[in-house]
Amino acid sequence: MTSKTPLFAVRSATAADASTLSELEREARNEIATFRGHQSLLREVKFIDTLWGSAIAESSCLVLVAETSGQVVAYAKGDISTTEGTCSVSHIYVDPLARQIGIGAGLISEIAHIAKDRGCTTLDALALPGDRKMKNLYERVGMPARLLIASKTL
């Protein structure tokens, strides 16, 4: 008899996850610094840092984590706008050692499910120019690019 154990589990974040979320967010911000446009993204996407407990408690936020072997290795944060019917994924990160097993897709799938249950009709997410892995992830889960914003500092 063969038993199939899932490689990871996705769940809602709790206040107990706040320090791990802060650490993973710092790793994510360091990693995106290698992509074009990262300065704009870092200005626009709020650095949560030590305020993850507040974000988790906020009703308009969906904060999920993924665990493998009992350790949190990834997170995603979606911001719900009930007036627009949109959930925008503002943060998503998977520790490099935990990639290639479907965690990113699992996080997006769960955010989409919860957002739909909360009345959203659209799920949006960001990817930086040159971040092919993120763009590929979005395309794998049925989220093709629908808008490209070109910008110039004046």
Give the pLDDT confidence score for residue 33 in this predicted structure: 87
Query: Does a structural domain hold residue 148?
Result: no
Count the Cβ atoms, other than its own, within 10 Å of residue 97.
Answer: 8
Residue 61 lies in a domain: yes
Q: Please report, for the domain that includes residue 92, its CATH number.
A: 3.40.630.30
pLDDT reported for residue 152: 67
150 in a structural domain: no
Please write the tens of the pLDDT for every residue from 119-146. Answer: 999 999 988 888 889 999 999 999 988 8
In a domain, 49, yes or no: yes
pLDDT of residue 2: 53
Of 133, 128, 107, the C-alpha closest to 29 is 128
pLDDT digits (tens, 9 = 90+) for 48-83: 999 999 999 999 999 999 999 999 999 999 999 988
More confident: 40 or 103: 103
Please provide the average confidence, as pLDDT, over all residues in the chain: 90
pLDDT, tens only, 68-122: 999 999 999 999 998 889 999 999 999 999 999 999 999 999 999 999 999 999 9
Q: Please report which residue ranges of 10-151 form alpha helices under DSSP H.
A: 18-32, 38-44, 52-57, 103-117, 132-140
Alpha-carbon distance 45 to 21, whole Å?
15
Task: List the one residue out of 46, 51, 105, 49 whose CA is nearest residue 79.
Answer: 46
Question: For position 148, what pLDDT does the model report?
Answer: 75
**According to the model, what pLDDT value does residue 4 have?**
60
Task: State how far the alpha carbon of 125 is from the alpha carbons of 16, 53, 68, 108, in Å.
Answer: 26, 22, 24, 9
Domain hosting 17: range is 9-140
Among 38-42, 70-74, 104-108, 150-154, which stretch is predicted with the lowest mean pLDDT? 150-154
pLDDT at 43: 78
Mean pLDDT of 37-51: 84
Question: How many structural domains is the chain composed of?
Answer: 1
Q: Is residue 3 part of a domain?
A: no
